[in-house]
Amino acid sequence: MFEGQPKGLFALALANTGERFGYYTMIAVFALFLRANFGLDAGWAGEIYSDFLMLVYFLPIVGGWMADKFGFGRMVTIGILIMFFGYLLLSVPLGGDTVGLVAMLAALILIALGTGLFKGNLQVMVGNLYEDAQYAAKRDSGFSIFYMAINIGALFAPTAAIEIMEWAQKNLNVSVNDSYHFAFAVACASLILSIAIYYAFRKTFRHTEGNKKAAAKGETAVAAEELPKEETKQRIVALCLVYAVVIFFWMAFHQNGLSLTYFADEFTAKSSEGVESMAFDVWNLVAIIFIVYGLFSAFQSKTTKGKGIAWAVVALAVLFLGWKYTQVSGSVEVSAPIFQQFNPFYVVALTPVSMAIFASLAAKGKEPSAPRKIAYGMLVAAVAFLLMLFASQGLKTPNEQAASAGALVSPQWLIYTYLILTFGELLLSPMGISFVSKVAPPKYKGLMMGGWFVATAIGNKLVAVSGYLWGDLPLWVVWTVFIVLCLLSAAFMFIMMKRLEKVA
């Protein structure tokens, strides 16, 4: 899985892990913070949440345009610094009045701008690693590893947010509203780690930064070759078609921070018992990840020593889970933000599985193209919301639930919904990023990667739709909206498949 990859991949992936840990620590509690601290209803909280996500994913097109002129590495560094000051401002408790609201909005703008300079350009640099012929065949697997690293940071984020908030409340006697700011402060520390990793291992990827200074020092820079105008046009059109589809995937997927979090907060049982309760301890999830990777290493290792180490890791992880099971007693509290740990857990645990499946298909000449994987991803996302539709049968509307608490459902509904959504994400997101890095005309790589994020931004803006639907409408209506949009998007992809595969 990791063999044959350029060294720079791991340095860039780890730098991104630190940044994403901070971002998802904030996102895990942000929607709830808006309602608790400013007294906003579901619609207005959803509007601010979706506007922020839109900016986070829209501004990479600006960052890409600037990077095409001034270099990817320079924009990444500037982006981290701007993000740091944004998170620093957000971590200051200024209350729920106008001053606090204005400061919060200013912080969001800084975070979005910094992310716009950092996120897309870092991914372009990853893509540039594979311009070298010896690594070209590893591009898709490389982006899968990179995507997995993002989710390692996201895996620990919800637990970190909840733990730091509870610690602040118990040990510093701060209010619940003020404790949110301690979760936001975690992001500041994570960015320091991110920039430290970036510069400590910069020599492994400096040739991908695309700046004149590197070229002057004699380092190999990635050249931007000219393509015929007609081919350039075909590639850009194909990318725009993919962008149009992924809008609706991200609209559906990023419900994890809005309607799915509302569902967890208002309609899901607040406690869990037995084996199920073990799923809410992040270290149990980490043990499962060690088991998965240990098993893959045991069967793929070429030496007896390697196999022995792998089996030892599996055995220790199993023993750890067995010990944790003996500690299960009574029930554990289930907090709404904790459900957001399941998606990154599934991504990390399932990435080697998906890579093995596609490697096997590739060996047989049957691996689906990137556009076809994206279409399948949309179908899978529809199935996830179909499951939520079944989970919501017999439940009250959100407004009825708020007025008079009704039935609560098992946490397993959301756990399995996130599992299915993750299957869709693994088919769509890393493959989509890889597709953009491969198909984008070399002269416009930064801009085209920015285009991917603009599509994501539009989808994130549309996330707010569920906030306005969340009220008097039956829950099955809310989920049906996403089912229909995902199915229509998949149908569009299959209709345009020949055109897309022509440039893939």
Phi then psi for residue 440, to 5 deg, are -55, 130
Same domain, 320 and 428: no
Asked if residue 63 is part of any domain, the answer here is yes
Report in angstroms the alpha-carbon separations of 490 from 19, 31, 366, 371, 438. Answer: 32, 29, 20, 10, 22
Q: Is the pLDDT of residue 218 over 80?
A: no
Q: pLDDT value at position 235?
A: 87
The total of structural domains in the chain comes to: 2
Asked if residue 165 is part of any domain, the answer here is yes
pLDDT in tens, 233-277: 888 888 888 888 889 888 988 888 789 989 999 999 999 999 999
- How many angstroms separate the CA atoms of 392 and 264, rounded? 12
Instruction: Locate 57 and state its tokens.
Output: 């994913």
Same domain, 292 and 156: no
Look up the pTM and report it.
0.79
Asked if residue 412 is part of any domain, the answer here is yes
**Residue 365, Cβ density class (10 Å: 0-12 exposed, 13-18 middle, ≥19 buried):** exposed
- How many angstroms separate the CA atoms of 272 and 18, rounded? 31
- How many angstroms separate the CA atoms of 310 and 346, rounded? 21
Q: Is the pLDDT of residue 216 over 80?
A: no
Same domain, 116 and 25: yes
Asked if residue 218 is part of any domain, the answer here is no
CB-CB contact of 25 with 194 (8 Å)? no
Helix (H) or strand (E) holding 333: strand 331-333
Same domain, 306 and 389: no
Q: pLDDT value at position 384?
A: 95
> CATH number of the domain that 60 lies in?
1.20.1250.20
SS (H, E, C) 217-228: CCCCCCCCCCCC
Same domain, 52 and 176: yes
Same domain, 33 and 121: yes
Residue 309 structural domain: 273-331
pLDDT in tens, 368-402: 888 888 899 999 999 999 999 999 999 999 999 98
Helix (H) or strand (E) holding 86: helix 72-90
Would strands 271-273 and 331-333 be described as parallel, antiparallel, or unpaired?
antiparallel
For the chain, state the CA radius of gyration.
22
Instruction: Locate 454 and state its tokens.
Output: 């603009």
- How many angstroms separate the CA atoms of 139 and 135, rounded? 7
**Considering 331, 351, 372, which residue would you say is the last residue of a domain?**
331
